[in-house]
Amino acid sequence: MKNKTVFVACDTSNLSKIKKIITQTRSKKLKIIPKFGLQFFYSKRGRKFLEDIKSDFWLDLKINDIPQTALSAIDSLKDLKKCKYITVHANGGLEMMKAVKKEAKKINKNIKILAVTVLTSLNNKSLKQIGHTKKVKQLVLKQADLIKKSSCDGIVCSAQEAKIVRKKHKKLLIITPGIRLPGDSSDDQMRIMSPKDAFENKVSGVVIGRSLTKGNIKKNTKRLIDHLKND
């Protein structure tokens, strides 16, 4: 099981809760890495905490802007020494992703740039409302081709698209949010899957939020380990 990577979504601005999530999800049986999004990063003490953190983490900012602004944003994060993953949005286009990847290599050769595709809160109906003519799977595969061309390290998509992406892109990191333990509520997610089923779809890692952080974190972590033991 140690070859499986789980990212725990630290979606709170409460520093005490963040510390609790990190401490109580630690396991010798499974690789669990904290993922910090906009809520914590924008909080008063969030940025400072990430400067001093001792463990590797994922900074999920979904950077989406013109190339120069995007690479400047990456450059401003160079003091976060333990940051191992940063997200950009594929909607920013090929040149933006290439610029970010190039800048990231300058500041830390170990940082992985992951490009986010269609958010897991969206479905085919949502895309149509936005103005897209392609369905979710078609759009994600199109974006995956662009991500590969940009030299970004990986793609963020739902586990439902992971199988078709992996078939075409054998070496791309595929990270999947929208993961729920069996029996848990889907909440605001549209395209969900269990951790076990996601890994069977050849993903590189999964993102789990409320299934781990809501309620008893230690018990939830044990549930996750037991769930994955059976694959």
Q: Catalytic pick from 62, 101, 112, 137?
A: 62
User: Helices 136-150 and 159-168, interaxial angle, to 10°?
Assistant: 50
Report how far residue 73's alpha carbon sits from residue 220's, in angstroms, rounded to the nearest whole number: 35
Asked if 157 contacts 144 with a C-beta cutoff of 8 angstroms, the reply is yes
Sign of CA dihedral 137, 206, 224, 61: negative
Is-catalytic flag, 125?
no
100 closest CA partner among 141, 64, 60: 64
For residue 196, report the phi and psi dihedrals to the nearest 5 degrees. -60, -50
The structure tokens listed for 87 are 């997200």
Q: Which residues are catalytic?
A: 62
